Amino acid sequence: KFKSLVAKAAEWHELTKEELIYVLQPEDHKERELLFKKADEVRQNYCGSDVHLRGIIEFSNICERNCLYCGLRGDNKRLNRYRIPEEEILEAAAGAYRLGYKTIVLQSGEDSWYTADRLCSIIRKIKEGLDVAITLCVGERTYEDYREFRNAGADRYLLKHETANGALYTRLHPGMSFRARISRLEWLKELGYQVGAGNMVGLPGQTIADLADDILFMKRMDVDMAGIGPFIPHGNTPLGKASGGTLDLTLRVLACARLLMPLVHLPATTAVGTLHPYGREKALQCGANVVMPNITPSRYRKDYEIYPNKICVNEEPERCRGCIQNRISSIGRTVASDYGHSLKLKVRH
Ligand code: 5AD
Ligand code: SF4
Ligand code: FES
């Protein structure tokens, strides 16, 4: 049964929720390897050998939200907060461009100091100076703000849905609602962004059925990118004593996501690299086709502590670039040389 369901998913990219729950839980090593192998084949057929690199600048760790799992939550007073001055952000972007990055990701906590004007100024200057795509990841904003960012030149927007279980979403996000999250994802699509969503794996109280819903939710939303990574407990948060997501379960979710969304961009996340020294390589071999190396200026890095023991906090951007190149070559893959736009755009237009 397992074998035929995986074969069906690999061919038709459709499963019912019940079937997906079944495929998410291989019974032995053989079934597990089959799942990973099929996901790797689908990735090869639809995305090829290319791995897309996105250089991420974590430009502010100030956050007005209080997500229960996150080290940047406003109530965590034991964190040195920073905002990187505009000139340094532009320098970091230029440095990344020289290292060959074709996408710059601008990420921060939900920091309202960054008005639309301030963010648009950064976006415009990067787009004027460098031939790169820009992904924004700055949380929930107004429709008008999203429109201004888009007009300033932002190409993509990453707003993870975190969990498709509405009750769990409400528990984890004081003062926020899953409805508001979904409508923002819809706005972003309407505004012509390439849209990324995504969820954490191994959240307290999360079930396999919830993870199936995460995958089906993103498939239904037809997202361009699905950021799936393990939850890693952070000591200075209310979930500090929870147990986190495992590498194995994260890989199974990634593999199923690839089977059902053959053209989606799937990052091998920094979080999966934090769980295991070869976590990112493993992810790239069960469906993933994107890596997001850190290009934040070194002196700020350790303070973007979403979860503990994050990799690369002591490395310079040059080091990570070389490191990631080696890792990609070591598994017989190639670094993409194009912008790495959504693979769905070609199909849509
Ligand atoms: N473990 C793993 N991922 C986390 N994130 C936040 N806190 C954690 C954690 N403890 C992720 C969320 C969020 C992004 C900024 O980081 O998915 O969208
Ligand atoms: Fe802020 Fe994002 Fe962390 Fe939530 S997950 S506390 S919005 S940085
Ligand atoms: Fe940063 Fe390997 S990617 S050191």
Give the pLDDT confidence score for residue 66 in this predicted structure: 98
CA of 112 to the centre of ligand 2 (A): 13
Beta-carbon neighbour count of residue 211 at 10 Å?
29
Measure the CA–CA gap between 99 and 150, rounded to whole angstroms.
25
Q: Which of 199, 239, 307, 311 has most ligand 1 atoms within 8 Å of its beta carbon, as the pocket-test mutant?
A: 307
* Residue 19 within any structural domain of the chain: no
Bridge pairing between strands 267-268 and 290-291? parallel
Helix (H) or strand (E) holding 196: strand 194-197
CA of 208 to the centre of ligand 3 (A): 31
Residues of the chain with pLDDT under 70: 347-349
Report which of 225, 228, 301, 192 is spatially closest to residue 52, judged by C-alpha positions: 225
Ligand 3 binding pocket includes 313 (Cβ within 6 Å): no
Measure the CA–CA gap between 165 and 200, rounded to whole angstroms.
12
User: Structural domain of residue 237, as residue ranges?
Assistant: 46-329
* Residue 334 within any structural domain of the chain: no
* Residue 40 within any structural domain of the chain: no
Ligand 1 binding pocket includes 229 (Cβ within 6 Å): yes
Beta-bridge mates of residue 135: 105, 156
* Residue 180 within any structural domain of the chain: yes
What is the number of structural domains in the chain?
1
Here the CATH number for the domain that contains residue 252 is 3.20.20.70
Q: Is 324 helix (H, G, I), strand (E, B) or coil?
A: helix
* Residue 348 within any structural domain of the chain: no
Measure the CA–CA gap between 246 and 9, rounded to whole angstroms.
24
Measure the CA–CA gap between 311 and 317, rounded to whole angstroms.
13
Sorted by sequence, the CB contacts under 8 Å of residue 152 that are 6+ apart come out as: 119, 120, 123, 124, 127
* Residue 31 within any structural domain of the chain: no
* Residue 81 within any structural domain of the chain: yes
**Number of the ligand closest to the Cα of 322:** 3
Give the pLDDT confidence score for residue 348 in this predicted structure: 58
Ligand 3 binding pocket includes 323 (Cβ within 6 Å): yes
Counting atoms of ligand 2 from 1, which one is nearest the CA of 66? 6
Give the pLDDT confidence score for residue 70 in this predicted structure: 98
Measure the CA–CA gap between 56 and 72, rounded to whole angstroms.
17
Give the pLDDT confidence score for residue 345 in this predicted structure: 87
Counting atoms of ligand 1 from 1, which one is nearest the CA of 307? 10
* Residue 346 within any structural domain of the chain: no
Give the pLDDT confidence score for residue 278 in this predicted structure: 98
Counting atoms of ligand 2 from 1, which one is nearest the CA of 74? 6
Measure the CA–CA gap between 163 and 177, rounded to whole angstroms.
11
Give the pLDDT confidence score for residue 291 in this predicted structure: 98
